[in-house]
Structure 1
């Protein structure tokens, strides 16, 4: 049977954030959903991937089996959404085997990410693969596919600049903090002021990178508490901001207002004794330009960070053709293996059929032979069998590459009556 890999994808390309948030699955939900799918659809391999930018299901089923609508409905049940069918238009359905394989490769490489070359996505795919393995929804096909993808990712990292540099503004800010504090303080105290979209992303990246001394503050305390819980960070009450500013080595400002929040007079009163870094992520700027005239204070604005991110992004974009070439080579090799999977049952049946004939003929003469003669004849007949089977196996594999395997499989089945041989072997077992 030919492999028929398929995919259902809901991503940032078609679905806005509020829809993605509604349908996203956490780890427990992913595991539960895998078990639900395992019980409801006839698929040999199932993979569920859910990130902030996408929720996707991949499965391997019969050519005429299309479980797309059922999977979306089951997703609605898992999420407690009664009318999930109203969101069907936000999903992309990939029913062609080659399209689904190509899509998973491109997702795992970061070619489909909002920030091209996203470094986190490969780890998220690995996590999804682990869940599939834990829940027994990964068969030989999925195992081989994912290991090919991970090997491809290594080639992309080693042979291209696709993963180099920080291509998102929030990640570039983290990279800047690392550069600024590397030779100054081992574990910098960081204060994030304002939790707009970029500020919140910075907090998540700080947590992912393992920064421990991070406090966040926001006029709306509930918003700060929610993000602090998600990222395991400490909340500083907004009324205590002056004390927080005094203690911090790095202050990240993501305050949305028309005039600067941090003035020269405010920062002057902090009595900076050594150094203090201010990173302004706001537009309009939330830190007065002349704050940097205060001794020990250094200010970096959004342009500095975006230039850093833009350079890295351009470098990644320039690497895309090479990445696609590597992906194409990997898919070609994987497809060769995938096609050979189709003929392996026939090869095994043919080997078994010939071995049965050999054993039957050996049994006829065993009683008349001594141990040495028996061993010699056993070796001779095994060698003959291997030579007899070598050409049909090579022809089958060549037929795979030409897309003609099924015809040759039918011929071999008829010639050696392999279906009957296989049935008899099953009965004996």
Structure 2
């Protein structure tokens, strides 16, 4: 283990959506940033997590280089680090940084508490740092502990039950009647924050047969590159609505965009579902009086999210307890990592002494005698080393490892011994 675990974070808690969108990293950009971190700072273990709500860098270093790393992120995205600094948190205390990662990974710091997408996003981030050979013993152990915690949270708590975001609840609502619609055509109207969340949720759930329309077409076309949806002109939307089975709208408008007259003008009436997430409403509630037309408004969707959020919030103490237990075990392992190089050096020093002494007498011994002496001296060294190793591990638990390491270094001149 080389260095202390640290983190830098830009998240929705400080940064506006426009900034978060601008600095979000795809797989190629994450790997490029990891390579630059390794080259510039000689950091051998680092993980970059980038989602729609946060871009964060976790790393091992003895130096407080967060501001310089922020400069690398800014350069990767073609912005000024001065523009990012006000929205960035630097966590240099190792215990706080480790706990923060656990809390992020479980969804305690999510915009939607208990975000169910985070475990997969964390796994992707871990895979990418492993691909770049930036995951060493510390990160491997840390990430597998994180995965174990997430498994326990899923199995033992209700922290991820239900749809706790409006966008997720909207998609969950349409899923309830998808069996009635073979291969339905879905239209998403509007790409404000709500509309983007809906599009991302559809994509994350594996839907491919959906179309998006936005007043600013270029914004829709840019997002379609990563989410792989079709785009239609907003100016033509009224003549296109009839083609779709499900319409989810979050368009800002003073009066309904989709009116009763429009729906009544459809030549071929078929069952259609409208989900209105707009305030004021963009879909005329009277449409529900037309045979085969079903309308859900924001209040109905929000009721689902409120129930889910209450359930998730009630599970937070249990989630925190699971994290506390995992942190105790991880910290014990991490503490032992501190003394591991000293243990290896001490074993190496004693083994060299044994070999040097053996070499003095090997020529006068038969092959059988040499084998016996080798076995006896090896057993002796193992017994001699046992007590210092136990004492080092015990010193870790007491927080006194550094003192004992210094004593052993002086006694056996371990600074000259390779670990």
Q: What is the DSSP-based 3-state SS (H/G/I as helix, E as strand, rest coil) of the residue aligned with 1:9?
A: strand
2:78 corresponds to 1:80: yes
Please give the TM-score of this superposition, normalised by the length of structure 2.
Answer: 0.92
Structure 2: distance between partners of 1:276 and 1:340: 62
Number of aligned positions between the proteins: 419
Equivalents in 2 of 1:105, 1:357: separation in Å?
45
Q: Give runs of aligned pairs for residues 24-423 of structure 1, distance below 5 A.
A: 24-62=24-62, 65-81=63-79, 83-181=80-178, 183-238=179-234, 241=237, 244-270=240-266, 275-420=271-416, 422=417
Q: 1:89 to 1:195 in 2, by over 3 A?
A: closer
Q: Residues 291 and 134 (structure 1 numbering): CA distance in 2 closer, same or farther, change over 3 Å?
A: same
Deviates more, 1:266-275 or 1:226-235: 266-275
1:399 offset after TM fit, Å? Answer: 0.4
Instruction: Give structure 2 stretches of 5+ with no counterpart.
Output: none
Assess, with a 3 A threshold, how the Cα gap between structure 1 residues 93 and 239 changes in structure 2: closer, same or farther: closer
Distance verdict in 2 for CA 1:416–1:230, change over 3 Å: closer
Cα distance in 1 for residues equivalent to 2:404 and 2:330? 22
Residue 117 of structure 1 deviates from its aligned partner by 1.1
Whole-angstrom CA distance in 2 between matches of 1:229 and 1:353:
59
1:322–1:250: structure 2 CA closer, same or farther, 3 Å change rule?
same
Q: 1: distance between equivalents of 2:279 and 2:92?
A: 44
Structure 2: distance between partners of 1:419 and 1:28: 41
Distance in 1 separating the partners of 2:2 and 2:132:
24
Deviation at 1:59, TM superposition (A): 1.9
CA deviation after TM superposition for structure 1 residue 186, in Å: 4.5
8 Å contact 1:102–1:331 — kept in the other structure?
yes
Q: Deviations over 1:39-88 (max 9, x none)?
A: 222433222222222222222112xx22122222233332323x422442
Question: Using the alignment, how far apart are the partners of 1:22 and 1:219 within structure 2?
Answer: 20
Q: Aligned-pair distance for 1:338?
A: 0.9
Distance of 1:259 and 1:242 partners within structure 2:
14
Instruction: Report deviation, 1:38.
Output: 1.6
Aligned to 1:52, the other structure's residue is in SS state coil
- Contact kept? 1:191, 1:252, Cα under 8 Å: yes
Query: Are the structure 2 counterparts of residues 366 and 163 from structure 1 closer, same or farther at C-alpha, using a change threshold of 3 Å?
Result: same
The secondary structure found in structure 2 opposite 1:118 is coil
Give the conservation status (yes or no) of the 8 Å contact 1:187–1:212: no
Matched-pair contact (CA < 8 Å) for 2:2–2:61: no
Is the 2:5–2:93 contact (alpha carbons within 8 Å) kept by the matching residues of 1? yes
Displacement after TM superposition at 1:346 (Å)? 1.3
Structure 1 residue 3 displacement after superposition: 4.1
Q: Tell me, yes or no, if the aligned pair for 1:291 and 1:297 is still in contact at 8 Å.
A: yes
Q: Give the distance between the partners of 2:34 and 2:278, measured in 1 at CA.
A: 42
Q: 8 Å contact 2:167–2:194 — kept in the other structure?
A: yes
Q: Distance in 2 between matches of 1:385 and 1:141?
A: 29
Task: Give the TM-score normalised by structure 1.
Answer: 0.90
**Shift, 1:242, TM fit:** 5.6
Q: Structure 1 residue 243: deviation in Å?
A: 6.0
Classify the secondary structure of the residue corresponding to 1:108: helix
List gaps (5 residues or longer) in structure 1: none
Please state whether the residue corresponding to 2:187 is helix, strand or coil: strand
- Compared CA separation, residues 416 and 146, structure 1 to 2 (3 A): same
Quote the RMSD (CA, aligned, Å): 2.4
